[in-house]
């Protein structure tokens, strides 16, 4: 496997970057337990403290981010709120425990977007991006196939295939979205296991020909919308800079 051929010193640097950028969200999976059905029924409803914790975590991540990432995180918060109310409350794509949209969710989208953006731009990650993309792609393919075979997750498998097809046309985005897929899948497994939210047995609880697991495997496909939205808002605010960059790129072709 390509990753195993990375020199030991560089591999340690990559693992360090991975832990710093991904580790916080893996820990947050366990924080979701405090918004779980078990915790609420046996101890207390702690969704408000979790919201406060996420606000604090978001502020810390925002403070440490570079200017471009900060701006993208703000756009992601705005789009995150709109997307959550559209897909959850409007289209019934999934349902939160209290049938609301917890504050920690859209803030979490923005924080996740920012962390993965920084991870994908890290020098050591860029240096070995093809090897990392290959490893992540294999893991994603196995994960989606297992979900399809053992959990009849047709909806998730179809979304995963769509993601691969979209990235076939946008190869430069592979690292970002493969990383996004893996982290989103981890959060979804934890959140649904604790009962913080749930997915219906078919896509949108409407399309019976698309059976779905709780959660479906390929839900990160919808982060394409978040990425496109953030990218569009960023380029519109920096039209002159973006025009110059495109001009430079054309001159080097």
What is the enclosing helix (H) or strand (E) of 197? strand 197-198
User: Do the beta carbons of residue 118 and residue 81 sit within 8 Å?
Assistant: no
Residue 186 has pLDDT above 80, yes or no: yes
197-198 vs 202-203, strand pairing mode: unpaired
Is 87 inside any structural domain? yes
Helix or strand or coil: residue 250? helix
- In this prediction, residues 18-43 reach a mean pLDDT of 87
For the chain, the average pLDDT equals: 88
CA–CA gap between residue 50 and residue 60 (Å, rounded): 15
Is 251 inside any structural domain? no
Is 100 inside any structural domain? yes
- In this prediction, residues 122-146 reach a mean pLDDT of 94
Is 194 inside any structural domain? yes
**Which two three-digit tokens encode residue 77?**
């918060």
Is 47 inside any structural domain? yes
Is 178 inside any structural domain? yes
- The model's pTM is 0.89
The per-residue pLDDT for 24 is: 74
Is 40 inside any structural domain? yes
Widest pairwise Cα distance in the chain: 64
Q: What is the pLDDT of residues 85-117, one digit of tens each?
A: 999 999 999 999 999 999 999 998 888 888 898
Q: Which of 128, 130, 150 is nearest to 138 (CA)?
A: 130
Q: What is the pLDDT of residues 219-231, one digit of tens each?
A: 998 888 888 888 7
CA torsion through residues 103, 109, 115, 117, sign: negative
State how many domains the chain has: 1
Residues of the domain holding 81: 2-246
Is 117 inside any structural domain? yes
């Amino acid at each position: 496997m390509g990753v195993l051929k990375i020199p030991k010193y560089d591999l340690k640097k990559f693992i360090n970057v991975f832990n710093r950028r991904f580790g916080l969200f893996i820990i947050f999976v366990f924080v979701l337990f405090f918004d779980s059905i078990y915790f609420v029924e046996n101890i207390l409803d702690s969704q408000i403290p979790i919201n406060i914790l996420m606000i604090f975590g978001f502020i810390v991540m925002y403070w440490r981010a570079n200017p471009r990432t900060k701006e993208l995180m703000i756009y992601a918060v705005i789009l995150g709120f709109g997307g959550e109310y559209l897909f959850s409350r409007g289209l019934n794509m999934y349902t939160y425990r209290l049938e609301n949209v917890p504050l920690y969710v859209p803030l979490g989208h923005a924080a996740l977007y920012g962390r993965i953006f920084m991870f994908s731009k890290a020098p050591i990650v860029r240096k070995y991006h093809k090897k990392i993309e290959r490893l992540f792609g294999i893991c994603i393919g196995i994960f989606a196939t297992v979900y399809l075979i053992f959990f009849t997750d047709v909806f998730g498998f179809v979304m995963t295939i769509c993601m691969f097809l979209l990235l076939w046309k946008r190869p430069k985005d592979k690292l970002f979205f493969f990383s996004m897929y893996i982290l989103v899948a981890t959060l979804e497994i934890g959140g649904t296991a604790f009962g913080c939210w749930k997915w219906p047995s078919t896509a949108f609880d409407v399309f019976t020909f698309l059976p779905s697991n709780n959660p479906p495997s390929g839900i990160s496909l919808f982060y394409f919308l978040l990425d496109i939205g953030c990218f569009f808002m960023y380029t519109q605010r920096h039209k002159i800079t973006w025009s110059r960059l495109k001009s430079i790129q054309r001159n080097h072709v």
